[in-house]
């Protein structure tokens, strides 16, 4: 299939680049160049075939986007949260599935090992995950427990020097190719604990989930545990309870807030360029008021969201960002991105439904992004609870 050259230029209507450091701009250039060279030319093909481009795992490791905030001594980048956000924005500008691979590896696998793991676990896994030698996945969601993970049935039972793990997880990004899985399970007291499960452990399988119309270039699967013997040294020793997985989700949701904005920026940029080139009724369609309304509203929403994620990044760097603030930004970026993708698709007319342009792929991807790591409704309820003091979940 013919795919258009990637001519992306980022909108910066409020001179927000002035808020970024030299380091941030260098990070952005490096990831943007990588996406233009290695992702844009191939991703539509992989998405059409619903195939995960496995070669990107090593490439992303070399690029330094796995665990950029993890200290250098464990193989991470030692960078700040704005650099991390910019990386996610640029990767998702290419494809939400590529960003998902990096988010899961960095925020949902490396972060819990770094924050809750033993020194031996950190030394054993983090450098290999950072370099892309290992791919990881994160198992929280179950067939009957999505928005309400506290009801999970997956469990561990004490058996001397190891535990026996039983249960199943579904909708797990990276699962079919993962070397290790950070899995959340209930112990015999009903308390949630994290365990590191390695591919090859007897009774552990990862069937692929087929038939997705979204995130088609990202591999999704189940994690099935049938009396898996997991050595006790693989239990994350420094966290107990739902705050373990929720702590990881806060980091990943922060990355999604920047990432979804990247997809929105790509859709806007594509639609703007098309509106200047496509002639109807002897004029570029961008000269018609109806198309200008769409484009003007897109850039306004993008600018508002850029300010929001930048400020959230500053709060993250200062260790002051709250889960409710992260929820609001994740929800806002997903909402504006899905709306912008739909508007952009309409500006492209019939061409908007083909894979020649990235817009419809983004539009379909964003249906997953607005659903995973807490649905749109759940993030609204988090904001509602924060401002009213009333819990409307139950």
Ligand X SMILES: Cc1cc2nc3c(=O)[nH]c(=O)nc-3n(C[C@H](O)[C@H](O)[C@H](O)COP(=O)(O)OP(=O)(O)OC[C@H]3O[C@@H](n4cnc5c(N)ncnc54)[C@H](O)[C@@H]3O)c2cc1C
Show which residues are catalytic: 373
Q: Candidates 171-179, 194-202, 230-238, 351-359: pick the segment binding ligand X (CB under 6 A).
A: 171-179
Q: Which is nearer to ligand X, 139 or 167 (CB)?
A: 139
Q: Which two tokens stand for residue 170?
A: 């579904």
Give, in order, the Cα–Cα distances in Å from 242 to each of 237, 355, 358, 389. Answer: 14, 41, 37, 20
**Strand pairing partners for 177?**
none
State the burial class of residue 343 (Cβ atoms within 10 Å of its Cβ: 0-12, 13-18, 19+).
buried
CB burial of 85-96 (b: ≥16 within 10 Å; e: otherwise) equals bbbbbbbbbbbb
Instruction: Give me Rg for the CA atoms of the chain.
Output: 21
- Select the residue interacting with ligand X from 20, 102, 172, 181 (CB under 6 A): 172
213 binds ligand X (CB under 6 A): no
Residue 80's contacts (CB-CB under 8 Å, 6 or more residues apart) are: 69, 313, 317
CB burial of 350-359 (b: ≥16 within 10 Å; e: otherwise) equals eebeebebbb
CB of 81 to ligand X, least distance (A): 21
Residue 99's contacts (CB-CB under 8 Å, 6 or more residues apart) are: 88, 91, 92, 255, 256, 259, 262
Q: Candidates 8-16, 259-267, 338-346, 372-380: pick the segment binding ligand X (CB under 6 A).
A: 372-380
Q: Candidates 28-36, 110-118, 159-167, 377-385: pick the segment binding ligand X (CB under 6 A).
A: 377-385
- Select the residue interacting with ligand X from 99, 219, 373, 382 (CB under 6 A): 373
Q: Candidates 46-54, 166-174, 316-324, 346-354: pick the segment binding ligand X (CB under 6 A).
A: 166-174
Task: Give the C-alpha separation, 67 to 224, whole Å.
Answer: 26
301 binds ligand X (CB under 6 A): no
- Select the residue interacting with ligand X from 48, 54, 55, 147 (CB under 6 A): 147
- Select the residue interacting with ligand X from 82, 104, 182, 263 (CB under 6 A): 104
372 binds ligand X (CB under 6 A): yes
CB of 289 to ligand X, least distance (A): 36
What is the helix (H) or strand (E) element at residue 284, kind and residue range? Answer: strand 283-284
Euclidean distance between the first and the last CA atom of the chain, given in angstroms as a whole number: 49
393 binds ligand X (CB under 6 A): yes
Task: Give the C-alpha separation, 22 to 312, whole Å.
Answer: 19
CB of 93 to ligand X, least distance (A): 19
Q: Which is nearer to ligand X, 173 or 291 (CB)?
A: 173
Between residue 121 and residue 140, which ones bind ligand X under the rule CB under 6 A? 137-140
Residue closest to ligand X, measured at CB = 146
Identify which of 377, 379, 358, 375 has the alpha carbon closest to the alpha carbon of residue 263: 358
Task: Give the C-alpha separation, 341 to 348, whole Å.
Answer: 11
User: ∠ at Cα 193 (385, 68), nearest 5°?
Assistant: 75
375 binds ligand X (CB under 6 A): yes
Asked if 262 and 90 count as a contact pair (C-beta separation under 8 A), the reply is: yes
Q: Candidates 9-17, 192-200, 301-309, 365-373: pick the segment binding ligand X (CB under 6 A).
A: 365-373
46 binds ligand X (CB under 6 A): no
Q: Which is nearer to ligand X, 167 or 313 (CB)?
A: 167
173 binds ligand X (CB under 6 A): yes
Torsion over CA: 18, 23, 28, 33 (sign): positive
CB of 208 to ligand X, least distance (A): 12
Would you list the DSSP string of 123-161? Answer: HHHHHHHHHTSS-EEEE--BTTBSS-GGG---EEEEETT
239 binds ligand X (CB under 6 A): no
51 binds ligand X (CB under 6 A): no
- Select the residue interacting with ligand X from 10, 83, 89, 141 (CB under 6 A): 141
Q: Which is nearer to ligand X, 171 or 254 (CB)?
A: 171
146 binds ligand X (CB under 6 A): yes
CB of 143 to ligand X, least distance (A): 8
205 binds ligand X (CB under 6 A): no
Q: Which is nearer to ligand X, 124 or 145 (CB)?
A: 145
Residues that bind ligand X (CB under 6 A): 104, 137-141, 146-147, 171-173, 215, 220, 368, 371-373, 375, 377-378, 381, 393
């Amino acid at each position: 299939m013919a795919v258009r050259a990637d001519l992306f230029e980022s909108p910066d209507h409020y001179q927000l680049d002035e808020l970024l450091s030299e380091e941030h701009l260098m990070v952005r250039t490096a990831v943007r160049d990588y996406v233009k060279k290695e992702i844009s030319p191939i991703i539509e093909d992989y998405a059409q075939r619903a195939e995960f481009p496995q070669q990107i795992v090593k490439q992303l490791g070399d690029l330094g986007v796995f665990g950029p905030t993890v200290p250098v001594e464990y193989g991470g980048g030692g960078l700040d949260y704005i650099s991390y956000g910019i990386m996610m924005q640029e990767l998702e500008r290419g494809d939400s599935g590529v960003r998902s691979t990096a988010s899961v590896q960095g925020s949902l696998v490396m972060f819990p090992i770094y924050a809750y793991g033993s020194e031996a676990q950190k030394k054993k896994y983090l450098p290999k995950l950072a370099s892309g030698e290992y791919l990881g996945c994160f198992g929280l969601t179950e067939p009957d427990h999505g928005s309400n993970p506290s009801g999970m049935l997956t469990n561990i039972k004490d058996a001397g020097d190891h535990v026996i793990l039983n249960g199943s997880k579904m909708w797990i990004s990276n699962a079919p190719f993962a070397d290790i899985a950070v899995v959340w399970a209930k112990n015999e007291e009903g308390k949630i604990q994290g365990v590191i499960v390695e591919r090859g452990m007897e009774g552990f399988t990862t069937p692929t989930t087929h038939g997705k119309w979204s995130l088609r270039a990202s591999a999704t699967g189940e994690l099935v545990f049938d009396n898996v013997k997991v050595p006790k040294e693989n239990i994350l020793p420094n966290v107990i309870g739902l705050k373990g997985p929720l702590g990881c989700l806060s980091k990943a949701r922060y990355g999604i807030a920047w990432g979804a904005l990247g997809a929105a920026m790509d859709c806007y940029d594509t639609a703007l360029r098309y509106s200047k080139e496509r002639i109807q009724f002897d004029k570029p369609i961008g000269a018609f008021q109806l198309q200008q309304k769409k484009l003007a509203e897109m850039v306004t929403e993008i600018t508002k969201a850029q300010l929001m994620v930048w400020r959230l990044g500053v709060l993250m760097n200062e260790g002051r960002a709250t889960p409710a603030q992260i929820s609001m930004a994740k929800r806002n970026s997903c909402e504006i991105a899905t709306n912008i993708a739909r508007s952009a698709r309409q500006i492209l007319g019939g061409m908007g439904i083909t894979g020649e342009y990235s817009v419809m792929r983004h539009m379909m991807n964003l249906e997953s992004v607005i659903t995973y790591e807490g649905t749109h409704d759940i993030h609204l309820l988090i904001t509602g609870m924060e401002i009213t003091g009333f819990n409307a979940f139950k």
